Amino acid sequence: MHAVDVIRAKRDGRRLTSEEIRWFLDSYTRGEIADEQASALLMAVFFRGLDPGELTTWTTAMIESGERLDLSAVDRPTVDKHSTGGVGDKVSLVLVPLVAACGVAVPQLSGRGLGHTGGTLDKMEAIPGWRADLTPEEMVAILDEVGGVIAAAGPGLAPADRKLYALRDVTATVESIPLIASSIMAKKIAEGTGGLVLDVKFGAGAFLPEPERGRVLAETMVALGEADGVRTVALQTAMETVLGRTAGNALEVVEAVETLRGGGPPDLVEVTVALAEEMVALAGVDADPGALLASGAALPVWERMVAAQGGDPAAPLPVAPHRRAVEAPASGVLRRLDARGVGVAAWRLGAGRARKEHPVSAAAGVVCLAKPGDEVRAGEPLLELHSDDPARFEAALAALDGAIEVGDAAAPTGPLVLARVGAAAGENGPA
């Protein structure tokens, strides 16, 4: 086979054979096909798409480019969760110990933030001593001991995806639903979990703002999981405004711990419990995650999980030396606080990165002193910006231009959980 022939075929709209897909991805992973040619195929896929058969083969080939984790030694049912990313999305920090406290093993392989969306590993690394890089043996041991683990995917897991993702980031081919779905599901299936719950965000702060496109992505990922024998469910959840009241690494850890104590913002609790209920249902475990979370019973699991990965759950978290208030522009009701604007502001304050190799600040971020629907007074603090470097404030303020709207009455709001995809515990449709 020749790479140019495969590229030309997809460019011209021909369906690729299984042999062509497997050969191309295997050859690229082994360095026998140039980045330029892989980039050309990605662009052809971006415009021409992949049909269900092509996509299944593409995903399987990425899984088979590396190793699969073996979780058979874990004596609990295993279920993981993946979010497509948002602003203030600290759900995993609460969800993993909560579901573990229900009797399910949660092998959460997470990523780092990029652009306006935060990353779970960046948040966890705000905890002194905590480490993300674990061997498969360490993961299994912590799952046996604690029931939950949050870790980075190792280099042996779907290496084809690792190479392709780096190309997609620099070739404007990230927003392709087949490429997004295969990238997420290759890693999650290779992780070896028995069940998977997907949190597909929609709204201003989401990767795919339109609910319709999110629905297609959810259906595509559920189909890929089920085809490989992984019980899979997706929830579409709202990301119009910040989830909870914080966006930033250490700030979000503090809020997650508050939630694990039985408090926390109602929107964060609602989304976390909805996902937890799906996870315990997939595992076949009879538990009430909402009651357990409210009782504070998941907090000791969090503390053991952090300690098992070298962290000190009692250590003080980093605090930014510089703060600046953003005042309400008028009196009335806060109608809108745009998630993307807040996310970009947090990124510019130092909480995020433009490229995966860039460092982040543990202390930087944004605290929302009011949320949509709250009454506000002109001149009173609406947001609090945190940064290690006061020179960053102006760029953060520019990101918030147009992100805040105050009016006479609250804007109409939709449900936090819009829809469910996957028939493992019921019919598809509105949640």
- Catalytically annotated residues: 82, 161, 168, 183, 187
User: Cα(228)–Cα(196) distance, rounded to whole angstroms?
Assistant: 12
- Report the DSSP beta bridge partners of residue 310: none
Would you report the helix, strand and coil content of the chain in percent, each value rounded to 5? 45, 15, 40
- Using DSSP's 3-state secondary structure scheme, residue 299 falls into helix
Contact by Cβ (8 Å): 399, 340: no
Two tokens, residue 110: 């997470």
Q: How far is CA 381 from the centre of its chain?
A: 30
User: Cα(281)–Cα(286) distance, rounded to whole angstroms?
Assistant: 8
304: left (phi over 0), alpha (psi -120 to 50) or beta: alpha
List strand residue ranges (DSSP E) for 162-267, in order. Answer: 195-202, 231-238, 246-248
Contact by Cβ (8 Å): 84, 217: yes
DSSP string of 110-130, one letter each residue: E---BTTB--HHHHHTTSTT-
- Cβ of 47: how many Cβ atoms within 10 Å? 11
- Using DSSP's 3-state secondary structure scheme, residue 365 falls into strand
Closest CA to 240 of 273, 271, 219: 271
Place of tokens 């929107």: 267
User: Cα(294)–Cα(309) distance, rounded to whole angstroms?
Assistant: 25
Place of tokens 């980075």: 152
User: Cα(194)–Cα(245) distance, rounded to whole angstroms?
Assistant: 33
User: Cα(313)–Cα(110) distance, rounded to whole angstroms?
Assistant: 19
User: Cα(210)–Cα(422) distance, rounded to whole angstroms?
Assistant: 20
Two tokens, residue 303: 């503390």
